[in-house]
Structure 1
Amino acid sequence: MQNVILIVHLLLALSLIGVVLLQRSEGGGLGMGGGGGGAMSQRSAGTALGKLTWALAIGFIATSLTLTIIAASDASGVSVMDRLTGNAPAATEDSGGNADELDTDSLLPPPSAGDAEGDSDAPLVPRAD
C-alpha cells in the first residue's frame, strides 16, 4: 500500500512541476518580462492549467499527509541509526504479555570506567598528566 501511494506521490510531483512550468508568467518577478497591464488590478481567469495546478497540489498534499501517517504508524520506537547499523533491540515479553515494549536495559550505555571504580562524580574533562 505504501509503495502505491509513494508512486502516486512521485507522479503527482512530476506532473505538478510540468504544469507549473507550462503556465504563462504573469510578470513582476525580479523585473523580468512576462504579462503586462496591471497584474495586481485584474483578477486572472481560472484557466484549465490553473485548475489542474490546484488539483495536483491538493493531491500532492493529501499523499504527503498519508505517507506521513503510514510512516508514523510503522515506527516502532527504535532509532533510525539503530535500524541502519542493525543494532535494533528486539521486543521482549514482560509479565503482562505485551511484546511491543522494548527492553530498556539494552538501550542504556555501558558503564564508564569511573562508574566501575565507584568514582561516578568525577568530572568528564580529561586530565592532563
Structure 2
Amino acid sequence: MENVILIVHLILAVCLIGIVLLQRNEGGGLGMGGGGTITGRAPTTPLGKLTWFFAICFIASSIALTIIAAENAAGSSVVDRLGGPAPAAEQEGAAQEAPATEPGLLPPAPVVPSDTPAAPPRAD
C-alpha cells in the first residue's frame, strides 16, 4: 500500500510541476503585478483550478505517507537498526558485547578495557 501511495505521490509532484510551468508568467514577485483588478486577485482559470486540485491531492498523499511511515516505525530506533546498544542504555563498568552487524554495515570498533594503561607519550 505504501508503494502505491508513493507512486501516486511522485506522479502528483510531476503533474504539479508541469501545471505550474504551463501557467502564464504575470511578472513581478510576491503577488505584485498581473491581474489588473482592484483586489489584486487574478481571475480563476482552468489551470489555476487544476493547480489547486493537484496541490490538495499532493498534500493529502504526503500526510498519508507520513502516517504509514509512523505506523511502520513504531517502537524502533535508528540505533536499533545499526545493531549497537543505545548510549543511554550502557552501564558503566559492565562488559560490552560485540553487537551483531547487518549486511553492508562496517564491523564495530574494538572495545578497549578501561583498566588498560594508556601508552606513554613518545619523547622525540
> Normalised by the shorter chain, which TM-score bucket?
0.5 to 0.7
Deviation at 1:88, TM superposition (A): 7.4
Q: Distance in 2 between matches of 1:39 and 1:29?
A: 17
CA contact (8 A) 2:35 2:42 kept: no
Query: Following TM superposition, by how much is the alpha carbon of 1:75 offset from its aligned partner in structure 2, in angstroms?
Result: 1.4
- Corresponding residue for residue 65 of structure 2: 67
Q: Deviations over 1:53-105 (max 9, x none)?
A: 0000000000000011111111132212432x2x178xxxxxxxxxxxxxxxx
- Counterpart of 2:50, as a letter, is L
**What is the deviation of 1:22?**
0.9
Matched residue SS, 2:60: helix
Asked if 1 retains the 8 angstrom alpha-carbon contact of 2:35 and 2:43, the reply is no
Secondary structure class of the residue paired with 2:26 = coil
- Shift of the 69–36 alpha-carbon distance from structure 1 to 2, 3 Å rule, reads closer
Q: Is the 8 A contact 1:13 1:60 kept in 2?
A: yes
C-alpha displacement at 1:47, in angstroms? Answer: 0.9
Partner of 2:11: 11
Q: Could you tell me the TM-score, scaled by structure 2's length?
A: 0.61
- Scaled by the length of structure 1, the TM-score of the pair is 0.59
Deviation at 1:18, TM superposition (A): 0.8
Percentage of pairs with the same residue: 62
Gaps of 5+ in 1: 90-106, 114-129
* Post-superposition offset of 1:110: 3.9
Map 1:17-32 to 2 at 5 A: 17-29=17-29
Q: In 2, distance between residues paired with 1:56 and 1:36?
A: 23
Runs of 4+ in 1 over 3 A off after TM superposition: 35-43
CA distance in 1, matches of 2:72, 2:89: 24
Q: State whether structure 2 residue 89 is matched by structure 1 residue 108.
A: yes
For 1:14, what is the secondary structure of its paired residue?
helix
1:7-39: CA deviations, max 9, x gaps? Answer: 000100111011111111122128xxxx65746
Partner-residue secondary structure (3-state), 1:46 = coil
**How many positions carry a matched residue from both structures?**
92
